[in-house]
Chains A and B, each alone.
Chain A
Amino acid sequence: EPEVTQTPSHQVTQMGQEVILRCVPISNHLYFYWYRQILGQKVEFLVSFYNNEISEKSEIFDDQFSVERPDGSNFTLKIRSTKLEDSAMYFCASISQVNYGYTFGSGTRLTVV
């Protein structure tokens, strides 16, 4: 069964450092998303991406965040200057049709110290 692949599985970074989280969506999917889940809290929407541009973003997704699809397979989330409150699980998701349910990647646990 096709999978969404995320790397790294766990990243520890110093406050103020830049991090890049990587995702390889399912190859024939067209819509890509980043969500995060702070420990013990709900899954929160960050950003959606379609046709090589952001289609929607949340209030969380401020100027410190950016997304990119640098080639035909990778989809990245960059946090420019990490804060302690950015510590969370970050999930990438993709779908082939916009009203479908997501296939999530296994997630990247980001710890900011």
Chain B
Amino acid sequence: QKEVEQNSGPLSVPEGAIASLNCTYSDRGSQSFFWYRQYSGKSPELIMSIYSNGDKEDGRFTAQLNKASQYVSLLIRDSQPSDSATYLCAVKINDAGKSTFGDGTTLTVKP
């Protein structure tokens, strides 16, 4: 079983729609959860951090965490073509500092 698993893509949504990206993780000791956006040929860029169960909203982005189900998701509302990228889920265990990344889900937003 992969340590961090993301729903297989690619994911395509029309402009203005909601994009839903999902991630599961295997280690129940995981405490910090992140979503990064990575444009092709570029470095990952942090877009959301979440540490406790529930929802966290930042602009058009909402991260959801359910530790009991070992599940974290990212919703992108009013998707724009500029949101087209690969979205990486990353998980940290305790205070080790190291993050484990999923394979990523590629999102395409069609005008």
Contact = CB atoms under 8 A, between A and B. Distances in A.
A13 B103 CA distance: 28
Interface string B10-46: 0000000000000000000001101010000011111
A42 B104 contact: yes
Given A48-B98, A56-B98, A99-B92, A104 B45 contact: yes
Interface residues of B, number: 24
Interface residues of A, number: 25
Determine the main DSSP class of A at the interface with B.
strand
A11 B36 CA distance: 25
B58 interface: no
B46 A31 contact: no
Interface of A: 31, 33, 41-45, 48, 50, 55-56, 58, 89, 91, 95, 98-107
Interface of B: 31-32, 34, 36, 42-46, 49, 51, 88, 90, 92, 95-104
